[in-house]
Structure 1
Amino acid sequence: MTVEHLNPASLAPPKGYSHVTVATGRSLAFIAGKIAVDADGALVGAGDYRTQGRVAARNLWLALQAAGGRPDQLARLSIYIVDHTPEREDDVLAGMAEAAVESRIGPTAGILIGVAAVGIPGALVEIEGVAVLD
């Protein structure tokens, strides 16, 4: 399995993602949206976009790991932010970067979408992913 991240010089440099991800492998893992909840389902980081970004990204990594996947096999992420503003986006991406250091999840192709609500009341961030497994 290989995942190659491409950022053409003809496009503006990406901030925290890759413009293109080319992946080859034997199977795909589709990871359902992850929010900032603990193992008991309790919301973590109420009102805190950065904390919720970090915990949601960590939960995505745990789900990928359960599928036998590795961080370098992530090909795409979709990030949903409640009441999106540039400041909230920065907080979410900073939290995700903290989780990335822990789990070594690198930039992938993806999209960031502002939404009215996600998953459960009080959740501010939801992240889903696609990985290409060996």
Structure 2
Amino acid sequence: MRIMTDATHLTHIPAPDGVAPARGYSHVVTGTGRLVAVSGQVAFDEDGRVVGEGDIRAQARQVFENLRRCLAGAGASFGDVVKLTYFLTDVAHLPVIREVRDEFVDAGCLPASSAVQVVALFRPELLVEVEALAVVGG
């Protein structure tokens, strides 16, 4: 089992003993501190308009920018994120979403994650929604 501890308050366990190694996420992340839960974010700009209709890369970039702003509002950053949950209308979009995620998240300490393909999100032009759990060092 390989364990990576970052410089702050989180420990990443990419593959516990007996579990196949993960590609693109850690199986387990633990931490001490204050829990921050960020509701699912979609590709809305600050005025509530959809960004990137039909463009998964543009939507993912807006989603991660919204997550960044929400985390900052709680005194957190992507370095504090322990879990991301992706809701996608087409799981084939996951590689692009991971590429965009890597622009925001340190690839050396990836959070735990789940990806779920859904029939639809709450507006038909939305392709992805992402929620986050973070632990801010205490």
Q: Same fold (TM over 0.5)?
A: yes
Which of the residues 107, 111, 118 maps onto 2:121?
118
CA distance in 1, matches of 2:114, 2:96: 16
Return 5+ residue gaps in structure 2 as ranges: 1-7
Larger radius of gyration: 2
Question: What percentage of aligned pairs have identical amino acids?
Answer: 32
* CA distance 1:92–1:70, change in 2 (3 Å): closer
Question: What is the DSSP-based 3-state SS (H/G/I as helix, E as strand, rest coil) of the residue aligned with 1:7?
Answer: strand
* Rounded Cα–Cα distance in structure 2 between residues aligned with 1:99 and 1:29: 18
- Which of 74, 77, 85 aligns to 2:84? It is 77
* Structure 1 residues 15-34: Cα deviation after superposition (integer angstroms, max 9, x where no partner): 22111101111x21110000
Structure 1 segments, 4+ long, off by >4 Å, are none
Task: Give the TM-score taking structure 2 as reference length.
Answer: 0.82
Structure 1: state its 5+ residue gaps: none
1:98 aligned residue (91, 103, 113): 103
Could you say what the CA RMSD is over the residues aligned between the two structures, in angstroms?
A: 2.1
SS in 2 for 1:92: helix
Aligned to 2:133, the other structure's residue is in SS state strand
Give the whole-Å Cα distance in 1 for the aligned partners of 2:65 and 2:89: 19
1:53 aligns with 2:56: no
